[in-house]
Structure 1
Amino acid sequence: MDVVKRRLDPRSYVKLVGSVEGCCVAPLAALWTSPPASVVRWDLAANAYPAPSGRKGPVVFAGSFNPPHHGHMEIIRYLSKAFSEVHIVIGMNPNKIYPVSPETRKQIIEQALPFIGAGNAKVWVWGDVIFKLAQHVGASALYRGIRSWEEDGKAERYLEAKLRTCAKQSRFKTFAGL
């Protein structure tokens, strides 16, 4: 899409993206009713996420972290065991007002990292599209947390459909069950 974006004027590009979303992404997301196969589920018996297998390259964990809480820390702990680098990305939506500033959220997370054994994690405040940072750090996957499939499932299906439709390669994972 970046090649197309460079060749079209901004107005034509926005129209094209809107058309792709309207005819491909949105209908697919609306028909998709099951959770993605790649959901990492909380193990009630162990009171933790399942033990990760193998250490892989860098990974991105994105969210608003407003405010950071124990659920976020459990996901970061899991990822830090499963991957060589964890890039925690505090996304900023300019259309939202947050009670806790992004820099304060970053400081809270950074102060918690040593206590959860996540020395291989770095926190970013990011105002652009998350996948650009993921490309910059060479991430092998993007993780996000959701409250529940019933509450956040429609938005997750839409995002996964969009990633599968628009991206050459994408590994998108979701955490559920906190």
Structure 2
Amino acid sequence: MPTAIYPGTFDPVHSGHIDIATRAAGLFEHLTVAIYARPLKSLLFSTQERKAMMEEALAHVPNLSVQAYNTLTVDFARQVGAQAIVRGL
């Protein structure tokens, strides 16, 4: 089964993010929630705070990890060996 990333700024983390991540984790062997560390917009929370919030909110999902990144999303996907990128609307 393939692995995937779910990228975003997640500022702040909300129930929609949690729902998408939880559902996506059920579709893949492993899901990495990828928190972009250098967006071109003003943020409410630091990268470390956003990562901690996401880790706490998704602690119940066993096949999921949370990582911050500051490269192009496609480069991060390659770095972690992801075959898919999850997006939600």
TM-score normalised over the length of structure 2: 0.90
CA RMSD of aligned residues (A): 1.3
Deviations 1:80-137 (A, max 9, x none): 11111101111133532201111101001111112xx311111111111011111112
1:11-90 equivalent positions in 2, closer than 5 A: 56-90=1-35
Alignment-mate amino acid for residue 41 of structure 2: K
Distance (Å, rounded) in 2 between the aligned partners of 1:111 and 1:81 = 18
The answer to whether 1:102 aligns with 2:47 is yes
CA contact (8 A) 1:88 1:124 kept: yes
Number of the residue aligned with 2:73: 130
Radius of gyration: which is bigger?
A: 1
In the aligned structure 2, how far is the partner of 1:112 from the partner of 1:94?
A: 22
8 Å CA contact 1:87, 1:124 repeated in 2? yes
Q: State the distance in 2 between where 1:95 and 1:109 align.
A: 21
The percent identity for this pair of structures is 29
The alignment's TM-score, normalised by the length of structure 1, stands at 0.47
Cα contact 1:63–1:145 (8 A) shared by 2: no
Deviation, 1:78, is 0.5
2 CA distance for matches of 1:82 and 1:71?
Answer: 17
Amino acid paired to 1:81: G
Question: 1: distance between equivalents of 2:84 and 2:39?
Answer: 25
- Higher normalized helix content (fraction of residues): 1
Higher relative contact order (CA 8 A, sep 6+): 2
Counterpart residue type for residue 57 of structure 1? P
Runs of at least 5 residues in structure 2 that lack an aligned partner in the other structure = none
